[in-house]
Amino acid sequence: MSNNRSETLFASACEHIPGGVNSPVRAFRGVGGTPVFFSRAQGAYLFDADERCYIDYICSWGPAILGHAHPEVIREVQEAATLGLSFGAPTEIEVEMAATVRELMPSMDLVRMTSSGTEATMSAIRLARGFTGRDGLVKFEGCYHGHSDSLLVKAGSGALTLGVPSSAGVPASIAQHTITLPYNDLDAVRAYFRAHGDSVACIIVEPVAGNMNLIPPKPGFLQGLRKVCDEFGAVLIFDEVMTGFRVALGGAQALYGVKPDLTTLGKIIGGGMPVGAFGGRRDIMQCIAPLGPVYQAGTLSGNPIAMRAGLKTLSLLRQPGFHEQLSALTKMLCDGLEAAGKKAGVPIVTHQVGGMFGFFFSDSAPWSFDEVMHGDTERFKDFFHAMLAEGVYLAPSAFEAGFVSIAHTEADISNTIAAAERALMASRR
Ligand code: PMP
């Protein structure tokens, strides 16, 4: 496939930007080849620098749940821009945003906005440490919570794709406080807490793991974490940067009926603009400055344009039937991929939670990091490139989740499944 303009642009990018990209997964290191450069997007489609169209299953890694460039969101952004880009002072719109988030996620008594998911998780952890007076942080292998020091220990997403799950540059004195346990293994959590529970400030977890492909929580896993935190006085943080407003209107906490102490948000809440948020129990959130001693701040936090884009997005996705339709489309895709695999004699299994999905070249779907790591990444690479040539843009790594938007039509999904069938048939030979 000729990718001329992307090749030229990538060569130029590599002159000016480390690895030619501003976030590592974009470099295609997980699949090889030249990253595609995009110039515009509309609905379910991305258009590359040569005006080639792709059905998009990344959706900007989640935010584009309404599809790209939704006209009502764009109108909000345009109107807001004429009123000033940033004030660094309070606005009415950020109050409306906080009230809306509280309504959709009732576990959040108070909400603070940030400019990225990384800031949200980093701040939530500092808060949990400040509140409990403890340093220990329990996370799970293959989960990704942004790129702050404490969280780049055995992390997922790009860190995993590039083979550097524990980043250089993180002082051992910081990493020593991060304890990484196997996802979906409640016994391991209980055992750790029995031995060291009184030193743990918090557990942070992706309630649906979307940074090592897609691994749903086993029944009882999240409930078990809640119980352990209650027993040992640790703060339970659900990182819903990816799952918030996507796996259900009220996020994974509504879907699985578990109330975390703190929640972190990002992606959808900004409607495609740079936004994150964290919030939760009033007594914990009251430890944040200016009310309490835990410092946290941001020049662009609560940015008025981002708030308008996010609020409009939330108002559109809370319409009745939205998540049912999104889930049905995603299920149609997953069922179709499995059927295409059967037809081609290539084993494919899928996981799906709401508008998120994962697929695996395997006979049985994985439920742990170790099982994901044993997947057939060579076959994934071939499949990825065959799909790209077919005009389907999947995540360029076997360790990322896929995303569907409400703008995807049944015809888009059918076309994707037909493309997958051709790609799999070809890969058999
Ligand atoms: N938490 C989770 C679960 C994520 O998936 C991500 C990003 N993919 C982050 C945190 C970090 O968010 P950001 O990239 O906006 O800093």
Question: Mean pLDDT, to the nearest integer, of 225-235?
Answer: 98
The class that CATH gives domain 71-317 is: alpha beta
Q: Among 52-61, 168-177, 209-218, 279-288, which is the least confidently predicted range?
A: 168-177
User: Two tokens at 110?
Assistant: 């108070």
Identify the band that residue 26 occupies on the pLDDT scale cut at 50, 70 and 90: very high
Instruction: Tell me if 307 sits within 8 A of 335, measured CB to CB.
Output: no
Question: Mean pLDDT, to the nearest integer, of 391-409?
Answer: 97
- The number of C-alpha atoms within 13 Å of 74 and in the hemisphere containing its C-beta is 10
Q: What is the DSSP letter of 21?
A: -
Does the structure show a pLDDT above 80 at 114? yes
Does the structure show a pLDDT above 60 at 3? no
The interface pTM score, or ipTM, of the predicted complex is 0.99
Our mutation pick for probing the ligand 1 site, out of 25, 121, 150, counting the most ligand atoms within 8 A of Cβ, is 121
Q: Active site includes 267?
A: yes
At residue 67, the pLDDT reads 98
- Dihedral (C-alpha) 80, 82, 84, 85: value to the nearest 10 degrees? 60
Question: Mean pLDDT, to the nearest integer, of 82-108?
Answer: 98
Q: How far is the CA of 177 from the centre of ligand 1 (A)?
A: 21
For the chain, percent of residues with pLDDT exceeding 90: 93
**Residue with CA nearest ligand 1 atom 7:** 146
Question: Mean pLDDT, to the nearest integer, of 413-426?
Answer: 96
For the chain, percent of residues with pLDDT exceeding 70: 99
At residue 116, the pLDDT reads 98
Distances, alpha carbon 110 to alpha carbons 287, 291, 420, in Å = 11, 12, 45
Q: Which residue has the higher pLDDT, 208 or 153?
A: 208
DSSP codes, 146-187: -S-GGG-SS--THHHHTT-SS-TT--HHHHTTEEEE-TT-HH
Q: How far is the CA of 323 from the centre of ligand 1 (A)?
A: 22
List pLDDT tens digits, range 275-311.
999 999 999 999 999 999 999 999 999 999 999 999 9
Close Cβ partners of 272 (under 8 Å, ≥ 6 residues apart): 60, 63, 64, 68, 73, 309, 313
Does the structure show a pLDDT above 70 at 168? yes
Q: Which residue has the tokens 């969280």?
A: 151
Phi, psi of 52 (to 5 degrees): -80, 140
Report how far apart the first and last C-alpha atoms of the chain are (Å, whole number).
20
Does the structure show a pLDDT above 70 at 1? no
Could you state, in order of their start, the residue ranges of all structural domains in the chain?
4-69+320-428, 71-317
Answering whether pTM is above 0.95, one says yes
Atom of ligand 1 nearest to the CA of 146: 11
Query: Cβ(124) to ligand 1 under 6 A?
Result: no
Phi, psi of 34 (to 5 degrees): -95, 130
Atom of ligand 1 nearest to the CA of 266: 15
Question: Mean pLDDT, to the nearest integer, of 233-261?
Answer: 98
Phi, psi of 331 (to 5 degrees): -65, -40
**Residue with CA nearest ligand 1 atom 10:** 145
Q: Round to whole Å and give the CA distance between 117 and 62.
A: 12
Our mutation pick for probing the ligand 1 site, out of 25, 113, 116, 118, counting the most ligand atoms within 8 A of Cβ, is 118
User: Two tokens at 278?
Assistant: 């964290």
Q: Round to whole Å and give the CA distance between 207 and 215.
A: 9
Identify the band that residue 352 occupies on the pLDDT scale cut at 50, 70 and 90: very high
Neighbours of 168 (CB within 10 A): 6
- The number of C-alpha atoms within 13 Å of 251 and in the hemisphere containing its C-beta is 29
Distances, alpha carbon 64 to alpha carbons 57, 78, 236, 286, in Å = 10, 18, 28, 32
Question: Mean pLDDT, to the nearest integer, of 69-93?
Answer: 98
Q: How far is the CA of 344 from the centre of ligand 1 (A)?
A: 35
Q: Round to whole Å and give the CA distance between 57 and 41.
A: 12
Does the structure show a pLDDT above 80 at 252? yes
Q: Active site includes 54?
A: no
- The number of C-alpha atoms within 13 Å of 189 and in the hemisphere containing its C-beta is 28
Q: How far is the CA of 258 from the centre of ligand 1 (A)?
A: 21
Q: What is the DSSP letter of 45?
A: E
Pairing label, strands 392-393, 356-360: unpaired
Identify the band that residue 155 occupies on the pLDDT scale cut at 50, 70 and 90: confident
Question: Mean pLDDT, to the nearest integer, of 168-184?
Answer: 94
**Which CATH entry fits the domain spanning 4-69+320-428: 3.90.1150.10, 2.60.40.420, 3.40.50.620, 3.30.70.100?**
3.90.1150.10
- Dihedral (C-alpha) 120, 160, 371, 251: value to the nearest 10 degrees? 20
Does the structure show a pLDDT above 90 at 96? yes
At residue 159, the pLDDT reads 79
List pLDDT tens digits, range 50-71.
999 999 999 999 999 999 999 9
At residue 429, the pLDDT reads 56
User: Two tokens at 86?
Assistant: 């940033």
Query: Cβ(131) to ligand 1 under 6 A?
Result: no
Query: Cβ(146) to ligand 1 under 6 A?
Result: yes
Name the active-site residue from 48, 56, 185, 239.
239
Question: Mean pLDDT, to the nearest integer, of 365-371?
Answer: 95
Write out the H or E segment, with its range, that includes residue 38: strand 38-42
Does the structure show a pLDDT above 90 at 101? yes
E-strand ranges in 170-306 read 178-181, 200-205, 235-239, 262-266, 276-280
Cβ-in-10-Å burial (0-12, 13-18, 19+) of 114 comes to buried
Identify the band that residue 376 occupies on the pLDDT scale cut at 50, 70 and 90: confident
Q: Active site includes 227?
A: no
Q: How far is the CA of 215 from the centre of ligand 1 (A)?
A: 16
Amino acid found at 249: L
Query: Cβ(116) to ligand 1 under 6 A?
Result: yes
Query: Cβ(278) to ligand 1 under 6 A?
Result: no
Name the active-site residue from 54, 139, 256, 267.
267
Identify the band that residue 2 occupies on the pLDDT scale cut at 50, 70 and 90: low
Kindly report the average pLDDT of the chain as a whole number: 96
Our mutation pick for probing the ligand 1 site, out of 125, 147, 242, counting the most ligand atoms within 8 A of Cβ, is 242
Taking Cα atoms as reference points, which of 331, 322, 332 lies closest to residue 414?
332
Most distant CA atoms of the chain, gap in Å:
65
Question: Mean pLDDT, to the nearest integer, of 410-425?
Answer: 97
Q: Which residue has the higher pLDDT, 153 or 307?
A: 307
